[in-house]
Structure 1
Amino acid sequence: MRIGLPFKGSGVDVTGLTATSPRVRKGKTFYGAGTDNEQSGTMQNVEAVNKKMDINETYNIIPGYRNGNDIFHQSLETFYGTFVDPGPGTQVVETKGKYAMYDVIVLEVSGLRPDVIKYGVVVGEGEGAVTGTWQGFV
């Protein structure tokens, strides 16, 4: 690309030029900031990047001229949510390393009254906790 340069007396007026060597592609010549002499660019060409990114990974972009063909992509396993029906024992919903598309819904437990829970057993946590008072035989 060629542009016209304003002349000032017998020379070129370079006071408004801002290009510098690191901002011009290597091998290209230009007139720019700091001198009225022809300068050479030093910006390196950078090969296109095709990178699969892990979850929360960062990538430091290498400075230089890029052709616009860089590709960064992710392929995350998805989790479509589920309903958990409380019951005896521990229940595990496998979500490690997955992207949740919907909620995990824990169903309500009805009928939790102190008189139907074994004496001294605490069900729940915090303000919603219920301590059993039942002392009998089944």
Structure 2
Amino acid sequence: MDFASFFANYGLIILLVALLVFMFWSSRRRMAKQKAEQEAKARQTVPGAEVLLQGGLYGTIVEYDPDNLDRPAVVEIAPGVDIKVHSQAILRVVDPVAGAVTGDEYVESEAEAVENTDAIDDDDTDSKPKA
């Protein structure tokens, strides 16, 4: 059996298998890329970030819960004008807040601030202000 007859008998099957493998690999790669983009969007969607809504409105995030996407996000579209929108109506973050912290980072910093305040209060109890 030479190469030409082998390819004539099994070439189409090999080609179909290669095509299926490529489609599977391509699909997995695209899904991983979309997941990474969603995670990046979730990290940037913090209070104070400017966002574009699907309706074409620009606003600033006031309240957003990335853990519960069924809960509406509160977006300020003008000074003093807050609207509630579905959290998935946020199309993209236009202007990520420089130095913005995530919820977990905020909780950690608050805990450290409380610990530092307690340490300072313990040191200041012995000294009294002089008038």
TM superposition score normalised by structure 2 = 0.23
Larger gyration radius, structure 1 or structure 2: 1
Q: Which protein has the bigger helix share?
A: 2
TM superposition score normalised by structure 1 = 0.22
